[in-house]
Structure 1
């Protein structure tokens, strides 16, 4: 409990009546959160017999802080990421503000009820930032602040004041590495208007945290340019410190270990008295000081920490008068006000029926009125209603914003060249958009984790510049030194350069992809990273999609086709990730004209919402989402063709016949992405021997699979004749035809095609770590070359004829 450096800013003392109402509301929030969890675990039907849970102790440590924030400090433009385990506190506050229905509280952690952790997409109340995977919501507030400043400095907003991005942080969340990564990135970009309020209850899920952790927190945040404000002592403690013996008491508190302090909190007043008497009872004035308090009062004094003292909290938060980032260390007690407060095992603890009865009596809540908004409070209900109606944060109701869609042109700039890679084509399309300077280009924000040039974003950045708060010239250009990259930095720049941290990239995309919801300004974020390193940021990617953030991410280069780079830079499983990740439409085009169609569709897909989509579309198309492009550095010969509207629709749906099969064809080669040349070569080799064979280009295994799943469910549940694009594609083939599938990735990404109509599949792909070599060497070694395709075709034909 040692006192760290730093002290809270102060203002004039809050009005006593105002304080009394806030304290009453804090009691009600504690009651409602505890009762919500109790109802879910002990009163509601539980047919599964599985523990529901709910973290009553983690809620209790934040009730004062969250009450002060939501009912007094916050304004409508502020955005908050709530500590995951304090979700019931958030729902209780929303209920008191009229933004949550009691039925949702009754069904907490049940189907259709308030969620276990605050969710933008699953909760019905006013959630700003989803949390749950600890540390990610914390980091998102920093990146949301950068996006807020980006749209403001570029003049894309209506000039409203900037909001504060607030994270309520469990002290154990600071162990997450992504938090430190985000701090460093925030320092690089001079992050502003961010408050991280640390619930320093000194307990994690399994134990009491290390002593003097706050000292490390201090140094970490100060090194990153943050102001550190510490709320350690409440007003009762400060008053006691001013009495004779008070300095000795303060010194004891500062020296006490976290474990001892927590144990005494659990044991109560008599244990406090015995410990203090034994340790400092012979110090002048201490015995007399302790004699002023009975055991209950002494316990109240020793647990009067800064994070539980409403006046201390309000003085500190209202005393902040600049936009520098703030780390506010609020000392609290896990389980404060509950029977298991301070016990190291209380994380998953839930009050039993007897404990809840005593808790109910202490809060003055009559039987049958447990869900009443004001039951048990001495303040008249009319006063409380008037107070809540005037709360600044909720005065305008729900605060989720919207923005009109940005028009997408009928065609994107078409790259020229007979031989191109999809990565090169991607860069040229963006460069062409930058040249045209239309509204679509003006809303694009690109970003990359220090691989901007190697993922072909250089042309875009040369024309659109790097975003920075300050105008910074390109020194190499000023010195007249030759460079292909003209990377001037300015507030109007449209590329945000990140360090090598993929978690940061995806959390930035979560913030940028919600700009229309958070700030009322639509951005179209486009990001690049090396495809294998998607796995390094997978938790944050899932988090971004879970929030329904909208963005395009290009994983490039990909596969063992990135031959000389070796296994560490060669992706295998990413096609399966693209198929499995909800909220993400994954594509892997082989040709640049396909890529143009997909990008054009993708920019529109990012902007869809369910209310504007045709009711006949399947779920993913109705709701829209984000887009993942798996691109390659392998240059391939581009087809000399003009795509018609029907082919474009098939490209977006996931596949089209590059070579149409004859009715009843006995064989088809199916390929995805960079292996197109060997698939085409193999097809041309067998075309005369197997007349009528087909060559199927799969641009999106994900979209084909999702469409098939949607049609299957429709037939099962509605009994209609719904068909999927993949079913129509495979319909011309003979029922016992062979399919040879091939891609530079895991073979399972295409092997499922055999289930659509019962065709036999010979699936080629990469199942093991790559290695360095030439493209031809590796394709041969891993059997995705022309010879392997031909061998698989021969085996498929032999198998078919054997079974006829």
Structure 2
């Protein structure tokens, strides 16, 4: 049961600090436990669902987080707390006066403290959202890289200091592959100021961790250049080891399998006594030690691990006097201090009402005082409040830091014209033109790509702006006069961050870059490129970045079966639906260069708005003949709203062909053919299915017909007319448009895996060529006639 520690009046400052921290840890463990108990057993339930809360995962981390928040963190430090320790974080914020009791009482309820720490949903200041395990951990590596970028370029606010990017890591999170991708990338970029504190409780969701894992973890970190600090034993056990026969006790514990250690922890003092008597009872020193400890005291001794020993934790944290990355391997007990400690099934376990009452009684908490901030030590409340005010540096971080001013964006973006051009090429030319200047927009852009920089047309930008690196690294090929179109010199002045071919890392870096304003006070405008189908490879990390409200421009290129000879492995199908379905991300698919220029200009501006979002551009390597036109402001607005009429509906319009992206020539060819027989037909260019759909949905929900751009566009189209939609992507992307006016519709697109071929063959095979569009028009018109 609970190990309640009294506060003395020791003259030693360290002892006083440790005693206050111990009292605060009692309170943190209680509040996090009570928060979960209240949500599951006391708060009214209307749906009968278990609320949950990961009680055991919380209790293993209370000492580590208490030491961090009340003894170590500085205002400039940033921390990612493991998702299952969310109640501990909220309890600490409550003790610091930064979160209300109502938030805790409504834990996992609407508007209350969130199940997992969230930048956007929690009422308190959260540095990094966590939830999908491993991502918040790896994000600290890329946040450190972004911090280096900001400070080495002199972009940080005056007087700002670099902070440590800290992650409290659940040991089961080390099973996640993205952890190791991030470690390797961090090594390549020589990251600094990163601490990972591994809550090594040796239990996962379903089982006990392998006995051999610890050695592999240590060697892995060391091979990546990290310092490893192991916190295995607390002061009580270290003192026991110093006694006669104590080294035999140490060797016994060291050799004890994780599963056995966990089971004995759950069985308590009697279980420990039986095992030690059997294996070591013949040793006089162990016999004496067992005689001196009753069962509760023996249980406390045998679970006195380094991750629960506040003095040892403080010593370890404060011993770091360098900026190299550090991994603290802190041995803990899952469920520490609770009746469920050590049980292999405790991950989602809760205390029964009787167990909670016994726990409360062991702490001496009076009925009705359960939510009091200092109910475990009411006599020391004044002293503890003073200690928090004095010793909690993070408490002095301003509650709200004013955002840096927006970066000015010019009225239009220049592009070097070409009669025949792909949207991917146009993207590269737009950035290359920006790279020629040195205005605020050019300085704020930072690009990144997972080893496809050149093949996604970032070469022109990189040649002019350079690659970012902490050190000056020459371009050896250029120095040796080997002819190359690419300048690959690296320096702190560069504005492109090159990554290995790991899409999770791309999205985690975009998340960190996109949070540079709230994290580091410097506004950056990140642009990341990757092959469009491989968005799916990093989709969890993309969702994570958007969930944090990071702002960036994502360029998926090349896309679709239009990447014809490359085959199905590199052709994308469902990415338009990902773009439409992903909150915090606005998807565009322009066909022409001038459309792309208008969208990018708006995107750079929109990314900076308080109610803005990130931008996803789905581009192609298929070159199209560019329209001869000067895009005016009115047409640019329609491009950004999501669609415009290439040929508006005529009188008594019976047919509309709507296309998105690179299939524009096929749609135009089919349109010209059918217009001979249907003179009132119309041709619609859809530049953002996402914007068009979301505004239409809002209009429908508000019950205000005609308000959305889609409804305004179709005002002149009679209800029930034939509508043909087509794109090089999943047909559901545009199929919803039939509902705007009850149209007789045929949605064309790609819903099967692609294959190698050329564009005419593939477009014909997958039913998105002009012939397929014409046939769809005929079928839709027949259906319409049949209904009439």
Q: 1:285 Cα shift?
A: 2.2
- Whole-angstrom CA distance in 2 between matches of 1:177 and 1:567: 25
Query: In the alignment, does 2:304 pair up with 1:300?
Result: no
- Whole-angstrom CA distance in 2 between matches of 1:370 and 1:647: 62
Query: In the alignment, does 2:363 pair up with 1:366?
Result: no
For each residue in 1:571-608, what CA deviation from the matched residue of structure 2 results, as whole angstroms up to 9, or x when unmatched?
Answer: 00001000000000000000000000000000011000
- Secondary structure, counterpart of 2:719 in structure 1: strand
Q: Which residue of 2 aligns with 1:505?
A: 506
Q: Which residue of 1 aligns with 2:417?
A: 416
Q: Give RMSD over aligned pairs.
A: 1.1
- Whole-angstrom CA distance in 2 between matches of 1:252 and 1:688: 90
Q: 1:401 Cα shift?
A: 5.8
Aligned residues: 775
Query: In the alignment, does 2:178 pair up with 1:178?
Result: yes
- Secondary structure, counterpart of 2:167 in structure 1: strand
- Whole-angstrom CA distance in 1 between matches of 2:205 and 2:766: 45
Query: In the alignment, does 2:57 pair up with 1:58?
Result: yes
- Secondary structure, counterpart of 1:665 in structure 2: coil
1:727 to 704, 708, 711: 711
Q: 1:397 Cα shift?
A: 3.8
**Is the 1:750–1:763 Cα contact (8 Å) retained in structure 2?**
yes
Query: In the alignment, does 2:473 pair up with 1:485?
Result: no
TM-score, length-scaled by structure 1:
0.95
- Secondary structure, counterpart of 1:731 in structure 2: helix
Q: Which residue of 1 aligns with 2:135?
A: 136
Q: Which residue of 2 aligns with 1:686?
A: 674
For each residue in 1:493-513, what CA deviation from the matched residue of structure 2 results, as whole angstroms up to 9, or x when unmatched?
Answer: 100000000000001111100
- Identify if the C-alpha distance between structure 1 residues 196 and 14 changes in structure 2 by more than 3 Å, giving closer, same or farther: farther
Q: Which residue of 2 aligns with 1:613?
A: none
Unaligned 5+ runs, structure 1 = 1-12, 610-622
For each residue in 1:699-753, what CA deviation from the matched residue of structure 2 results, as whole angstroms up to 9, or x when unmatched?
Answer: 01011000001111111xxxx5562100111111121210111100000000110
Unaligned 5+ runs, structure 2 = 1-11
- Secondary structure, counterpart of 1:627 in structure 2: strand
Q: Is the deviation greater in 386-395 or in 670-679?
A: 386-395
Q: 1:438 Cα shift?
A: 1.1
Q: Which residue of 1 aligns with 2:698?
A: 710
- Secondary structure, counterpart of 1:238 in structure 2: helix
- Whole-angstrom CA distance in 2 between matches of 1:69 and 1:366: 29
**Is the 2:706–2:712 Cα contact (8 Å) retained in structure 1?**
no
- Whole-angstrom CA distance in 1 between matches of 2:330 and 2:402: 31
Q: Which residue of 1 aligns with 2:102?
A: 103
Query: In the alignment, does 2:633 pair up with 1:645?
Result: yes
Show the 5 A alignment for 1:237-636: 237-377=237-377, 380-390=380-390, 391-398=392-399, 402-609=403-610, 623-636=611-624
- Whole-angstrom CA distance in 1 between matches of 2:500 and 2:651: 54
- Whole-angstrom CA distance in 1 between matches of 2:60 and 2:120: 26
Query: In the alignment, does 2:53 pair up with 1:69?
Result: no
For each residue in 1:68-88, what CA deviation from the matched residue of structure 2 results, as whole angstroms up to 9, or x when unmatched?
Answer: 000110001100000100000
For each residue in 1:367-423, what CA deviation from the matched residue of structure 2 results, as whole angstroms up to 9, or x when unmatched?
Answer: 001110111206521111111122111113426562111010011112310110000
- Whole-angstrom CA distance in 2 between matches of 1:217 and 1:363: 37
Q: Which residue of 1 aligns with 2:124?
A: 125
Q: Is the deviation greater in 736-745 or in 383-392?
A: 383-392
For each residue in 1:301-339, what CA deviation from the matched residue of structure 2 results, as whole angstroms up to 9, or x when unmatched?
Answer: 101000000000000001111000011000000000000
Query: In the alignment, does 2:650 pair up with 1:666?
Result: no
**Is the 2:589–2:617 Cα contact (8 Å) retained in structure 1?**
yes
Q: Is the deviation greater in 682-691 or in 100-109?
A: 682-691
- Whole-angstrom CA distance in 1 between matches of 2:459 and 2:342: 55
- Whole-angstrom CA distance in 2 between matches of 1:227 and 1:598: 46
For each residue in 1:196-237, what CA deviation from the matched residue of structure 2 results, as whole angstroms up to 9, or x when unmatched?
Answer: 000000000001110021101001111111110000000001
For each residue in 1:470-491, what CA deviation from the matched residue of structure 2 results, as whole angstroms up to 9, or x when unmatched?
Answer: 0011111111110000111000
- Secondary structure, counterpart of 2:261 in structure 1: helix
Q: Is the deviation greater in 411-420 or in 37-46?
A: 411-420
**Is the 1:14–1:311 Cα contact (8 Å) retained in structure 2?**
no
TM-score, length-scaled by structure 2:
0.97
**Is the 2:744–2:781 Cα contact (8 Å) retained in structure 1?**
no
- Whole-angstrom CA distance in 1 between matches of 2:674 and 2:37: 69
**Is the 2:718–2:741 Cα contact (8 Å) retained in structure 1?**
no
Q: 1:14 Cα shift?
A: 6.1
The runs of 4+ residues in structure 1 deviating greater than 4 Å are: none
**Is the 2:200–2:329 Cα contact (8 Å) retained in structure 1?**
yes
Q: 1:17 Cα shift?
A: 1.0
Q: Which residue of 2 aligns with 1:738?
A: 722
- Whole-angstrom CA distance in 2 between matches of 1:649 and 1:555: 23
For each residue in 1:434-467, what CA deviation from the matched residue of structure 2 results, as whole angstroms up to 9, or x when unmatched?
Answer: 0022110100010000000000000000000000
Q: Which residue of 1 aligns with 2:734?
A: 750
- Whole-angstrom CA distance in 1 between matches of 2:440 and 2:396: 34
Q: Which residue of 2 aligns with 1:207?
A: 207
Q: 1:801 Cα shift?
A: 2.1
Q: Which residue of 2 aligns with 1:7?
A: none
Q: Which residue of 2 aligns with 1:5?
A: none
- Whole-angstrom CA distance in 2 between matches of 1:168 and 1:159: 28
- Whole-angstrom CA distance in 2 between matches of 1:92 and 1:502: 35
Q: Which residue of 1 aligns with 2:4?
A: none
1:759 to 712, 719, 743: 743
**Is the 2:556–2:619 Cα contact (8 Å) retained in structure 1?**
yes
Q: Is the deviation greater in 13-22 or in 475-484?
A: 13-22
- Whole-angstrom CA distance in 1 between matches of 2:769 and 2:326: 57
- Identify if the C-alpha distance between structure 1 residues 748 and 426 changes in structure 2 by more than 3 Å, giving closer, same or farther: same
Q: 1:284 Cα shift?
A: 4.8
- Secondary structure, counterpart of 1:298 in structure 2: helix
For each residue in 1:64-112, what CA deviation from the matched residue of structure 2 results, as whole angstroms up to 9, or x when unmatched?
Answer: 0000000110001100000100000000000001111100000000011
- Whole-angstrom CA distance in 1 between matches of 2:203 and 2:434: 52
For each residue in 1:649-676, what CA deviation from the matched residue of structure 2 results, as whole angstroms up to 9, or x when unmatched?
Answer: 1111100001111143000110000100
**Is the 1:152–1:159 Cα contact (8 Å) retained in structure 2?**
no
- Identify if the C-alpha distance between structure 1 residues 281 and 592 changes in structure 2 by more than 3 Å, giving closer, same or farther: same
- Whole-angstrom CA distance in 2 between matches of 1:43 and 1:796: 59
**Is the 1:472–1:489 Cα contact (8 Å) retained in structure 2?**
yes
- Whole-angstrom CA distance in 1 between matches of 2:268 and 2:781: 80
